Amino acid sequence: MTLPTAILGAGMMGTAIAAAHLRCGLPVILYDLSETALQTAPQRVADELRLQNLPFSSTLLTCTGTLDDLADSPIVIETITEKLKAKQKLYQKFTADRKPTGMLLTNTSTISISSLAQHLSPDWQHRFCGLHFFHPVRQRSLVEIVAGQQTERAVIEAAKEHAGRIDKQFIEVRDSPGFLVNRILNPYLSSALSLLEQRVDLEQIEHTALRFGMKMGPFRIMDEIGLDVVLHAGWVLHKAFPDRTPQSPILLRLIDQGKLGRKTGQGFMRYVQQASWEGEGVPDPQFAATVPSEVRISAPEMIRRLFMPMYEEAVRCYEEGIISDLATADRASIEALGFPADKGGIITWGDST
């Protein structure tokens, strides 16, 4: 009998990753401290599968609020909030008095694997690595696999095998804040926020990105991820790269107003449907009134300002040894970020430009 994969956290990513396992016939045990999250998790997993025209088998999913129920799981994937201390606190609870017979993987999008592993015992540090999924999990074929300083090579190979079992391709990247994909996503989002602060029209920015060929505009991406999550990830990257990761007052203001994106029905845009990734956002007159658009720039200039910083960051990642070849950046930009495939990827496009 196949032992279940354990997932720590029954939020948006946790349920999407659970669905990715169930669609391949792999059992899952889903942990969360919130009783509400556990009660609603089966329906949210079923909704994820419904969007893929797949049935939901309740016999493959177990929900629990007790960490001891995960003791026999050979693979444990943590998916909770993007906060260093919160993740470390959960790891300490999970590993306390527990021998490392399996692997502990984290879905962190920006926090260094070695930093997360600091308070783990040496035995657990050897069996800890990053397995980073992308939004929306059902549409993104790629995962990032990241080794910490103490991660055993056998654990990385086992993580690759597990990715294959759930029909995911992988790239292996060196440990660094943001790894590869969020290192090159961040300039796209930061550039869009900078344009907005300069009073360029939000809809013009979105439409230009879509006409360029992106699967999603920058503000829709932020609304789907959740503005609070974008902020926490931005703090990590700002600490590591302060000169290239400015803090946006518009983003902070929306969060202060409780407008966190689709999950609250309102962010940069309004959303009738709060199920993630369903239905386009519509313009928010309230937002437009507080951030008036007074400047229009040409499409070629906007494209340069949105995408050239992504290209430059991808080159930095190669120069720093985060990736071993530039083709990996092209592949990641297409498969993880929805960059237009007909342009060859961010490096191919940037070189031709």
What tens digit of pLDDT does each residue of 225-240 get?
A: 999 999 999 999 999 9
Q: Let me know whether 221 and 110 are in one domain.
A: no
Question: Helix 249-256 and helix 227-240: axis angle, to 10°?
Answer: 140
| Number of domains the chain contains | 2
Q: What percent of the chain has pLDDT over 70?
A: 98
CB 111 within 8 A of CB 239: no
pLDDT digits (tens, 9 = 90+) for 169-217: 999 999 999 999 999 999 999 999 999 999 999 999 999 999 999 999 9
pTM, two decimal places:
0.94
Catalytic residues, by residue number, are 132
CA angle 349, 234, 136 (to 5 degrees): 65
In this structure, of 95-104, 240-249, 286-295, the range with the lowest mean pLDDT score is 286-295
Q: Let me know whether 185 and 169 are in one domain.
A: no
Q: What is the pLDDT of residue 294?
A: 84
Q: Let me know whether 199 and 315 are in one domain.
A: yes
Q: Let me know whether 192 and 154 are in one domain.
A: no
Q: Let me know whether 130 and 61 are in one domain.
A: yes
Q: What is the CATH number of the domain that holds 15?
A: 3.40.50.720
Query: Range of 289's domain?
Result: 181-352
